[in-house]
Structure 1
């Protein structure tokens, strides 16, 4: 059972995807992730996109915590249906349509989104089976849609190598939680020179 941890919809129990076709972010990882994002000050009034959204738990948590608009992108039938259910729950609590669901392949969605659409927070939680070249294609398509100060959060297996960051995007931090690694990236600065940080939990 998954729930929204905090914010206007805090405590709300979310619908889960039937079966075992998805890999939900654990509550431990989710709590640590959102604590970090709130310390960055990037969630309030943010435009958020949750790619490979699964149940949409990360996106709707963002809406609960003050994001202005959230896009959930999921292709598979059952997860997309669950995204719609969870979006409906949160939109009703918030009293407005904050969360929108797009049933689409992530690569196709990114190619079709208007050039002037920029996101402040991006969640990417692809299936572990997604290859590194396929992931690199997603990141390349995403790079031009990052607002100034944007934060990209990529969840991968700890056994996976560091992603191939495209031109215009750079990693600034990494956190390990058991079998899960969260990679944090941002728009590349012209004079980028910081080494970032690495930590294990």
Structure 2
């Protein structure tokens, strides 16, 4: 697992030991960023279920302004801190050890809305729809913002969740990437 492009291209990322974290493969990460590249420059990113921090670090490497890394696993938080430090992105990163729903609520208290939300929750555990409903309720995503969800192929998501409409979907082996944007 490595950073694919940008300032720290080629940097290897550390992963937590064990099977609790399933890092995004380089192939899937490359595909995600080719789909959303115009949204990245100078953006504020929320990386939910951040795991290794790979998606957020990739975004920073490609020119994002700031990333909020959220995870409820202490091992993942330690790995994210190490990876962010190794990449030299401490100033652009906020790393929070939080349950995701609480983090979404906290984000609503901030004056700054986010531009891109990455969600890579544990597969087939039912986290996606409730999180997107919370994002909708708390209004933390800019009107032009997007939600990028990495999930299991068997996890079929609805075409609309709150004000968010499915705008793109791609399959990669057992993984599916679904992108939601706000209703116009």
Match among 86, 89, 102 for residue 89 of structure 1: 86
Does structure 2 retain, via aligned residues, the 8 Å contact 1:116–1:145? no
Q: Deviations over 1:122-174 (max 9, x none)?
A: 1000001422xx43221111121111321210011111121474322111110
Does structure 2 retain, via aligned residues, the 8 Å contact 1:17–1:82? yes
Give, in whole Å, the separation in 2 of the partners of 1:101 and 1:22: 17
Residue 8 of structure 1 corresponds to 7
Q: Is it true that 1:138 corresponds to 2:138 in the alignment?
A: no
Q: Deviations over 1:78-120 (max 9, x none)?
A: 1111011111122x2x5x6012211100011111221533111
Secondary structure of 1:116's match? coil
Secondary structure of 1:137's match? helix
Secondary structure of 2:135's match? helix
Q: Is it true that 1:155 corresponds to 2:154 in the alignment?
A: no
Displacement of 1:18 in angstroms is 1.3
Q: Is it true that 1:21 corresponds to 2:14 in the alignment?
A: no
Does structure 2 retain, via aligned residues, the 8 Å contact 1:53–1:74? yes
Secondary structure of 1:8's match? coil
Match among 182, 185, 191 for residue 180 of structure 2: 185
Residue 170 of structure 2 corresponds to 175
Secondary structure of 1:138's match? helix
Does structure 2 retain, via aligned residues, the 8 Å contact 1:87–1:101? no
Q: Which runs of 5+ in 2 are unaligned?
A: none
Q: Which has the larger radius of gyration?
A: 1
Give, in whole Å, the separation in 1 of the partners of 2:160 and 2:99: 21
Residue 56 of structure 1 corresponds to 53
Aligned residues: 181
TM-score, with structure 2 as normaliser? 0.93
Give, in whole Å, the separation in 2 of the partners of 1:71 and 1:168: 23
Give, in whole Å, the separation in 2 of the partners of 1:163 and 1:100: 31
Q: Please give the root-mean-square deviation of Cα atoms over the aligned residues, in Å.
A: 1.5
TM-score, with structure 1 as normaliser? 0.85
Q: Which runs of 5+ in 1 are unaligned?
A: 190-201
Secondary structure of 1:13's match? coil
Give, in whole Å, the separation in 1 of the partners of 2:82 and 2:172: 29
Residue 197 of structure 1 corresponds to none
Give, in whole Å, the separation in 1 of the partners of 2:180 and 2:23: 21
